[in-house]
Amino acid sequence: MESIYEFLKANLKLALEMSALFLGIVNGLMLLKFNLRDKPKLDVKPIHPEVYQWWFMLPSKEFEGQPTRRYGFLAYVGIVNRGLRKVSLESWRLFVKGEKIREVELKAINMPEIVIKIGSHIKMLPSLGQRTVNFEGDTVIDAGTSILGMVYYVYECWGDAVWNPKIQNGKITAKFVVKNAFWKQSKCKVVFSEKSLEWVTDIARGIEEIA
């Protein structure tokens, strides 16, 4: 009888340990499932792709005695959180490909508010992540909501023409990449149409003096 008791006691302890291990694995898998299901999921795209995405030539500057060529980029983008958890944006960059070089990463620059006159009406566009008189500039996106904003970048090069952005039929194609607080990236293609500096400064006064 004593040997049977010892046998049951030893096996019961093993069974309890295995049950605890199994429950731990199940709980971990459930937490992982909920975390993957509830994570934020950002969808990025240009707003009215044929209307609000522009590139333009900026006044030249000098670098080591050489004149530089400066290109400005303005894009109106929308970011939707299709996940189940709110998230904040960490960065938003533009990647522009040169004529014969790999993509160049550009950081967003603070910019004046865009003010467009449409007949007798005035339309003001927010700047992404930038607080102004008319807009909060919040970069936290709740689940199931979206934010819109203009972004501004400057591409500067000098020397050989291979460093110029690749231009086809007056358009420059670039990649817009957003990184959230969890370091997850979302991206989209943006096609920029050429505008004159005079036209751009009419809707964004003083932009040629930035950067």
53: number of Cβ within 10 Å: 23
Q: Is the pLDDT at 150 greater than 70, yes or no?
A: yes
Q: Give the integer Cα–Cα distance in Å for 38 and 23.
A: 22
Contact predicate 193/112, CB 8 Å: no
Which of left, alpha, beta for 13 (phi over 0: left; psi -120 to 50: alpha)? alpha
Residue among 86, 126, 130 at smallest CA distance from 108: 130
Q: Is the pLDDT of residue 89 over 70?
A: yes
pLDDT of residue 201: 96
pLDDT at 31: 47
Could you tell me the pTM of the whole model?
0.80
Of 90-94, 129-133, 171-175, 189-193, which gets the smallest average pLDDT?
A: 129-133
**pLDDT at res. 100:** 77
Beta bridge partner(s), residue 158: 68
Confidence of residue 210 (pLDDT cuts 50, 70, 90): confident
What's the start-to-end Cα distance of the chain, in Å?
Answer: 89
Which among 199, 69, 88 has a CA at the least distance from the CA of 143?
Answer: 88
Taking residue 147's Cβ as centre, other Cβ atoms within 10 Å add up to: 20
HSE (side-chain half, CA atoms, 13 Å) at 99: 8
Q: What is the pLDDT of residues 34-82, one digit of tens each?
A: 444 457 899 999 999 889 999 999 999 998 888 999 999 999 999 999 9
Confidence of residue 33 (pLDDT cuts 50, 70, 90): very low
CB 155 within 8 A of CB 96: yes
pLDDT of 112-137, one tens digit each?
889 998 888 899 999 999 988 788 88
190: number of Cβ within 10 Å? 25
β-pairing, 185-194 vs 54-58, is parallel
Can you tell me the distance from the alpha carbon of 47 to that of 80, in angstroms, rounded to the nearest whole number?
A: 12
Q: Give, in order, the Cα–Cα distances in Å from 35 to each of 29, 56, 66, 68.
A: 10, 44, 53, 49
Better pLDDT: 37 or 210 = 210
CB neighbours of 12 closer than 8 A, spacing ≥ 6? none
Task: Give the percent of the chain with pLDDT over 70.
Answer: 82
